Each structure stands twice: as C-alpha cells, then as structure tokens.
Amino acid sequence: MLAFALLLVAVLSRVLPHPWLNFTAVGGALLVFGARRPLWQAVFPLAALAAVDYYLTVFAYRYPFHVDAYLLTWAWYAVAMVFGRVLLRESQSAPRVVGAALLASTSFFLESNYAVWAGARSFYPHTLAGLATCFVAALPFYRNDVLSTTLVVSLVFGLPALAARLAPERAERVRVRS
C-alpha cells in the first residue's frame, strides 16, 4: 500500500506547482515500487507517470505531444523499478539505499539530458560542446533529483530501521523502571 501512496505523491509532486526544479518523489517512488511490489504491478506507475507526462506536455506547457519523445523516459521508469527490485528488495542497508538513489538519479540525468541533446528539436548543437552545455545546464535539476530521491528512499527504508533499533532500547528502559 505504501508503494501506491508514494506513487500518488510522485504524481502530485510533478503536477502541483512548487519552486524547486525537479524536486519530486518520482525516483524514490519507483525504487520503492520495484522493491516492494510484484513485477506485474509495474504497469501502474508506468501508466500513471506516462499520463502525467502527457498532461504536463499538452496542458501545462502547451506543446504538441510526441510519443517518441518520451520512450526513453518511460523505459527509464521501468529501469528505476528494476534498480529497486535488484538493490533494495532483499536488503535496505544505508549504503544500498544511498547507492540506489544515486544510481536512479544519475541514470535519469544522463538518459534524459542525452535525449534532450540528441533530439531533433534540441536547443543545443550536436557537438561535444553542445552535449557538455546541455549537461551543465541541467545540474540544478540533477542536484534536486538526487536530494529528493535520497530523501524519499531514506525515509521509507530508514524510518522503520530506526524504529526497530530504538524499540528494544525503549522496551529495556521500561523494564528497568518497573
């Protein structure tokens, strides 16, 4: 149920206006979904996030929608869930959680900005300098994606671990006082 609640938060974090560039719950929600839900349910986040992409493109940004412009992004959504499944399903240690967040954010940064640069309607010249300019211009988005993805997965996997760690200590203090 938590994975579906996070999916809703991810959708809202994309649709509702906020001042932080790319500070969304998408990467974290996809990692959690991959770690916690059966593979056949991956269709839900894929459909929800594809619908958000369509909505934002057509209604918020008022651009024409071209499916081919989103295929790599939608493939990345699936890959992010695979990262969650492979890296976080069995073990949620701090290095794994942080590593999964960095891998998800970095892979999205590389994939999405390469697609922007390579696209036929690119703002950047198709040269090495144009690619570098594209990546540099996207660094503020990358920073916020790393922060938001790490925050989401750290809260989802870290809070239960912290509670389990504190619970025996609290139980021991209660027994001592009695």
How many angstroms separate the CA atoms of 173 and 35, rounded?
Answer: 34
> Is CATH 3.60.21.10 correct for 2-177?
no
User: What radius of gyration do the chain's Cα atoms show?
Assistant: 19
126: pLDDT strictly greater than 80: yes
Give the pLDDT confidence of 17-51 residue by residue, as tens digits.
Answer: 988 889 999 999 999 999 999 999 999 999 999 99
Model confidence, pTM:
0.91
159: pLDDT strictly greater than 70: yes
Q: Are the C-beta atoms of 130 and 117 separated by less than 8 Å? A: yes
Q: Are the C-beta atoms of 117 and 131 separated by less than 8 Å? A: yes
* Structure confidence at residue 162 as a pLDDT band (50, 70, 90): confident
Report which of 3, 8, 95, 69 is spatially closest to residue 42, judged by C-alpha positions: 3
The pLDDT value recorded for residue 60 is 95
The pLDDT value recorded for residue 178 is 44
The pLDDT value recorded for residue 163 is 87
Give the pLDDT confidence of 107-122 residue by residue, as tens digits.
Answer: 999 999 999 999 877 7
The pLDDT value recorded for residue 21 is 87
- Can you say how many angstroms the Cα of residue 54 is from the centroid of all Cα atoms in its chain? 18
